Every structure is written in structure tokens, then in C-alpha cells.
């Protein structure tokens, strides 16, 4: 159950992309910045786009938002259908785990290379190719009759998603400047957050009515609509869509930098894949010593009882990250093409903004991870009821998105970020307070709606601010960097939420069970069953069936104790979520100062 509800990368991917608008004079000065060859040392000089002097293309905004919503929906919609998929096509639990993990790992590994490709060859082109790949692979996934075909389709979906995600964000950042920027990112963020919240609900509806294959087939009409609309509504940015004069000067000054950084592509992909895998799979395979679950992929397996593959992946990922930073810095100084221009991190809104985004992504994932488990396992709601409650967060995001430009005009975009984070932190605290079974579960709708409101204010505006000073020709590179950072932040959230829940349950539940007269060994075993199943075993004891039958009349009392212990563990998990959001709030203070100093200049 723990694996079935790990909504990590999915929900996290969307909620995770965030930013802040830039002032008019900053956007007007962008051409000047791009013409300075020394200030942008690593991008394709042709990868710029015109700054709109008239009303920007709002149709393009909706196409980009729908494209990313498709990716986000696919992430969150799949998780609730895993048990049905297992039963229908006969895959084992290990393969089922890879259905979600493989997509997330491939997605994280390829965000930066495809964001860079969009800068070099045209963001619209990469976006449309990614849409074709994603739709085709979704059709393949829907037709799957076994594990091999389904896993191959998920890999292809990850490739298509990695082509779509960074190029939606970079296109919006390139097309919307000045006074239009806050409104554009408000719409963009509201659509993304709503898609994340609606994913579990739609997954439950499709699985229980049309069948699980429709969680993939729904991408077919969406993808066709996105592809066709993009032809007519989305201007080309990046690639050959260069600014006359500024881009030509940059091209002449930096023609020696044009090329492909193959080592950088390999290092960035391996680094992201290893770190994301290690963080999201720590609870499954063990943080140091291997658990009873053995890592298997195809014909390969890891069978070392004394050592889990997780620490090896994390150490290797950290070493490759250090090598990537050193390697890319050296290539940039030498005037060679690079995968990531390290001088971007000299932009304070970009560097501090990415730090804030990572911390916020970790905190938000912990909440989104915990809520479905709490609603279904502790409070006894079915999938559709839980999904409907989670969809309320999407409504809050829509309201916030509609008001984003108004709030940004009053508070500045950075101020809207901080307001949103404060609302999120208060909402998380209220969710924790209202968790005990003595209170009606429907009271949770109030803080959930408030959380969605805060999310809508904070997420999109943070993305806008992070990219506000990034040269337009490097929008894909900057967007992909932030998306990758957010993915890593979500993976950290996966690690800390799972670990905190397990530690809290194993630390508090045994005493409750022993108070019922159960032997300490039995209490410890039941506590481990609760943490290992993320509360899934509670329903078994409520019904008194299966292994609970041997406890007779004590089974309901044990279920009540399990519920109380699981809720307490959930409250500790939400405390960790609040702490991570608070760290993001502190980082946002630095973002606001950096944005203010830039606007003054």
C-alpha cells in the first residue's frame, strides 16, 4: 500500500514547478543582456525569442498548461490503479513498483538534456515531438498484457514527459513578460495544481467504471488536442526564433560555443537517476541493510543481504554530481559547450529560488503523501471519496490563480510567494490538529481548501521569479534545472515522509498494543505491519478477516489502537512537512531581497 500511494514525483512534479514575475523594465532590458556575449557563456546563441510588445498569446498559455497537466495527471492517476493492474495482467509486486518508479527516474534523468535541446532546436518542436511520444507510449501502456510491455511503455512515457515538461515552462517564461507575467503564471500554476489534485479522483473513477486502461487512454484525446492546438496557437521560441541584432551579435561572439556536451548529458542523466532512485526507494529496499524486498529489473537482481543498493546509488549520485559541477565549470571557462551554464547560479533569484523550490517540494510531497493514506486507511473512506476531498485543494488553487496578478500588483510577486507559504504552513498545522478520529473527517475540507489557496499563490509565482532574470535564450536550460531540482526535492520529501511515518508508528504504537494485553513481541510485529503497509493492514483488523481472525473479539480494539498510532505517526509526518515549508519560507526571504535589488538596478 505504501508503494501504491507514493504520489511523489507525480504530484510533486506539478506542484513543484514554481516561480515569480519580473518587472517591466527588467523584461525590456533582456535583449541587451542577451547581446552581451560574455554574460551567457554556454547556450546556443540562436536560442532566444522575441519579447512581445503587444498582448501576448494567451492561447499558447493554455496549450502549454494543458500539456503539462497531461504529464501531471499521468503521474498521480496511475498510483491508485496499481492493485487493479496487478490483478488484471498478472504482474508481480516488484514489477508494479517499477510501474511508478521507472517513469519518475527516466523523467528526472532527461529533464535537463531536453530543456537544453529546446533552447537549441526550438521549444515548440521539442514539445510537439514529446507529445507524440507520450501519446504513443500511453496507447502502448493501455494495450499492455504483461509487465515487459507496460514497463517499456512507462520508459517511453518518461522520455516524452521529459521533452514536454521543461519546454512548457520555458515557453511561458519567454512569451510572457512584464505586467502579463503574473497573470500567466497564475493560470499556469492553477491548471497544474488542479491536475495534481484531480489525478487520484479520476484514477479511481476510471478504474471502477471504464477500467484501468483508461488511465492511459485518456492521454490520447488530450495529446491530440495539445498537438493540433500547438500548431496554430504556440509561437516558436528558441532555436531559429532569434531576436534580430541581439542574437546575431551573440552568435558572432560565441559561435565557438555551439555544440553538444555529450559528457554533460551522460553525467546529468546518471546523477539525477541515481539520486532520485536512492531517495524514493530507501524505504522499499532499506537505507543500509537490505530489506526482505529484493531489487529486480528484467533479468537483473541485487541479492546482498548485508547491503542495500540504496546507499550505493546515493553515494554514486553524489560523486557524479560533484563531478558534473567541476566538469561543467571547467568546460564553460574553456569556452566549450556545456549542458548547464554554472554562471546561472550567480543570479541570486535563480540560486535562492531553486533552494526554496527544493525545500517546498519536499514539504508539499509529505502532505500529499500522507493525506490519501490517512483518509483511506485511518478514516475508512473509499478511493472516490478520498479523491473528491483531495480535489478540493485544486479548487483553492484555481481561486488563487485567478487572483495571482491582482495580488502580485499589490504585494509584488515575491510577496505573493511568502503569503502562499504562510497559508500552506497554517493549513498543514490545521490538518494535523483535525486528524484524530473524534472529529469528523469532513472538517479537513477547510484546511485542504486553504492549502490549495496557498499553493496556488506560492507555486507558480516562485517559478516566475526564479526564471525572471534568466536570459530568454536560456529559458529551457533554466526551466529544466528548476524542474530537476524540484524532482530531487520531491524525492527528498518521499524519503523523509516515509521514514518519519515509519519511525513514529514503530515508536508509539507498540505501547498502545501492549496496553491491550498483547505480548511485546506481538505488538512490535503488528507495529511493523502497520508501518510497512502504510496503514493498509488497519482495514483487515477492522473486518476481522484473514490474519486478524486469530485475535477474535480483540481485533476491533487492535484496529482502534492501530488507527490512533497511525494518526500520531501522520501528525509527526506533517510536522516534518511544516518544517520543510518553513525552510522554503526562509529561502523565499532571500529570493524577495534578490528580486527587489534587481528591480532597483
Cα separation of 94 and 77, whole Å? 19
- Comparison of pLDDT for 505 and 49, the residue scoring more: 505
121-138 mean pLDDT? 95
SS3 224: helix
Domain boundaries, the chain: 57-239, 262-338, 343-600
pLDDT at 18: 36
Of 284, 277, 202, which is closest to residue 4 (Cα–Cα)?
284
SS3 238: strand
Q: What is the DSSP string of 75-103?
A: HHHHHTTHHHHHHHH---HHHHHHHHHHH
Domain 343-600 classification at class level: mainly alpha
> pLDDT tens digit string along 410-465?
888 888 889 999 999 999 999 999 999 888 889 999 999 999 899 888 877 888 88
Of 286, 278, 281, 288, which is closest to residue 313 (Cα–Cα)?
278
Q: Cβ distance 328 to 264 under 8 Å?
A: yes
pLDDT at 2: 41
Encode burial over 168-205: b for 16+ CB neighbours within 10 A, e otherwise: bbbbbbbbbbbebbbbbbbbbbbbbbbbbbbbbbbbbb
pLDDT at 132: 97
Q: Cβ distance 3 to 284 under 8 Å?
A: yes
pLDDT at 583: 93
Which H or E element spans position 300? strand 300-302
Asked if 57-239 and 343-600 have one fold, the answer is yes
Q: Among 83-92, 291-300, 351-360, 590-599, which is the least confidently predicted range?
A: 291-300
Cα separation of 388 and 204, whole Å? 10
Tell me the average pLDDT of the chain.
80
pLDDT at 88: 84
Compute the radius of gyration of the chain from its Cα atoms: 24
Residue 542's pLDDT band (boundaries 50, 70, 90)? confident
SS3 438: coil
| Architecture, CATH, for domain 57-239 | Up-down Bundle (1.20)
> pLDDT tens digit string along 231-240?
999 998 876 5
Residue 94's pLDDT band (boundaries 50, 70, 90)? low
276-281 mean pLDDT? 82
Residue 598's pLDDT band (boundaries 50, 70, 90)? low
Is 44's pLDDT higher than 70? Answer: no
Q: Cβ distance 243 to 45 under 8 Å?
A: no
509-527 mean pLDDT? 88
Q: Among 191-205, 212-226, 252-266, which is the least confidently predicted range?
A: 252-266
Q: What pTM does this model have?
A: 0.78
Q: What is the share, in percent, of the chain residues with pLDDT greater than 70?
A: 86
Of 323, 350, 589, which is closest to residue 481 (Cα–Cα)?
350
Return the DSSP state at 292.
S
> pLDDT tens digit string along 347-391?
988 999 899 888 888 888 888 888 888 888 888 888 778 878 888
Rounded to 10 degrees, the C-alpha dihedral 369/191/165/29 comes to -120
Instruction: Give Cβ neighbours of residue 50 (< 8 Å, ≥ 6 apart).
Output: 241, 243
Cα separation of 572 and 168, whole Å? 36
Amino acid at each position: 500500500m505504501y508503494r501504491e500511494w507514493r504520489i511523489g514525483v507525480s504530484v510533486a512534479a506539478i506542484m513543484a514547478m514554481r516561480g515569480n514575475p519580473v518587472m517591466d523594465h527588467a523584461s525590456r532590458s533582456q535583449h541587451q543582456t542577451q547581446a552581451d556575449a560574455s554574460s551567457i557563456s554556454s547556450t546556443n546563441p540562436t536560442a532566444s525569442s522575441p519579447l512581445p510588445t503587444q498582448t501576448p498569446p494567451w492561447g499558447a498559455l493554455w496549450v502549454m498548461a494543458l500539456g503539462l497537466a497531461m504529464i501531471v495527471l499521468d503521474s498521480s492517476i496511475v498510483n491508485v490503479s496499481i492493485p487493479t493492474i496487478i490483478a488484471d495482467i498478472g504482474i508481480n509486486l516488484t514489477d508494479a513498483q517499477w510501474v511508478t518508479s521507472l517513469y519518475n527516474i527516466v523523467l528526472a534523468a532527461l529533464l535537463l538534456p531536453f530543456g537544453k535541446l529546446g533552447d537549441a532546436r526550438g521549444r515548440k518542436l521539442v514539445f510537439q515531438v514529446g507529445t507524440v511520444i507520450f501519446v504513443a507510449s500511453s496507447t502502448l501502456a493501455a494495450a499492455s498484457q504483461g509487465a515487459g510491455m507496460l514497463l517499456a511503455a512507462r520508459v517511453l512515457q518518461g522520455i516524452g514527459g521529459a521533452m514536454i515538461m521543461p519546454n512548457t515552462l520555458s515557453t511561458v517564461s519567454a512569451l510572457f513578460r512584464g505586467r502579463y507575467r503574473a497573470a500567466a503564471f497564475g493560470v499556469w500554476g492553477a491548471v497544474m495544481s488542479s491536475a495534481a489534485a484531480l489525478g487520484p479522483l479520476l484514477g479511481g473513477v476510471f478504474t471502477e467504471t471504464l477500467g484501468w486502461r483508461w488511465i492511459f487512454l485518456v492521454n490520447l484525446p488530450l495529446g491530440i488536442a495539445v498537438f493540433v492546438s500547438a500548431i496554430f496557437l504556440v509561437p516558436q521560441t528558441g532555436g531559429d526564433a532569434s531576436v534580430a541584432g541581439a542574437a546575431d551579435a551573440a552568435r558572432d561572439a560565441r559561435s565557438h560555443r555551439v555544440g553538444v556536451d555529450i559528457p554533460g548529458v551522460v553525467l546529468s542523466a546518471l546523477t539525477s537517476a541515481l539520486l532520485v532512485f536512492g531517495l524514493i526507494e530507501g524505504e522499499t529496499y532499506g537505507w543500509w541493510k537490505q530489506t526482505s524486498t529484493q531489487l529486480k529489473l528484467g533479468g537483473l537482481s541485487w541479492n546482498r543481504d548485508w547491503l542495500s543498493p540504496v546507499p550505493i546509488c546515493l553515494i554514486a549520485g553524489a560523486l557524479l554530481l560533484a563531478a558534473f559541477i567541476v566538469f561543467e565549470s571547467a568546460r564553460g571557462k574553456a569556452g566549450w559547450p556545456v549542458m548547464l551554464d554554472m554562471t546561472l547560479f550567480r543570479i541570486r533569484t535563480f540560486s535562492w529560488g531553486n533552494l526554496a523550490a527544493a525545500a517546498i517540494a519536499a514539504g508539499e510531497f509529505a502532505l500529499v503523501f500522507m493525506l490519501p493514506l490517512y483518509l483511506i486507511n485511518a478514516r475508512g473512506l473509499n478511493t472516490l471519496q478520498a479523491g473528491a476531498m483531495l480535489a478540493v485543494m485544486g479548487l483553492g488553487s484555481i481561486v488563487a490563480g485567478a487572483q495571482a496578478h491582482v495580488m502580485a500588483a499589490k504585494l509584488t510577486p515575491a510577496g505573493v510567494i511568502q503569503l502562499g507559504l504562510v497559508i500552506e504552513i497554517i493549513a498543514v498545522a490545521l490538518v494535523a490538529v483535525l486528524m484524530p478520529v473524534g472529529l469528523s473527517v469532513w472538517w479537513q475540507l477547510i484546511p485542504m481548501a486553504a492549502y490549495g489557496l496557498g499553493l496556488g499563490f506560492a507555486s507558480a509565482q516562485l517559478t516566475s521569479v526564479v526564471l525572471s532574470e534568466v536570459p530568454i535564450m536560456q529559458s529551457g536550460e533554466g526551466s529544466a534545472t528548476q524542474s530537476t531540482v524540484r524532482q530531487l526535492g520531491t524525492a527528498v520529501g518521499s524519503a523523509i515522509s516515509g521514514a518519519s511515518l515509519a519511525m513514529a508508528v514503530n515508536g508509539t504504537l507498540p505501547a498502545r498494543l501492549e496496553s491491550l494485553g498483547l505480548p511485546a513481541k506481538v505488538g512490535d510485529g503488528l507495529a511493523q505491519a502497520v508501518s510497512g503497509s502504510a496503514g493498509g493492514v488497519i482495514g483487515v483488523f477492522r473486518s476481522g478477516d484473514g490474519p486478524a481472525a486469530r485475535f477474535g473479539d480483540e481485533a476491533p480494539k487492535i484496529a482502534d489502537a492501530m488507527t490512533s498510532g497511525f494518526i500520531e505517526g501522520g501528525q509527526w509526518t506533517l510536522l516534518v512537512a511544516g518544517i520543510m515549508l518553513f525552510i522554503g519560507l526562509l529561502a523565499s526571504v532571500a529570493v524577495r531581497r534578490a528580486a527587489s535589488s534587481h528591480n532597483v538596478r
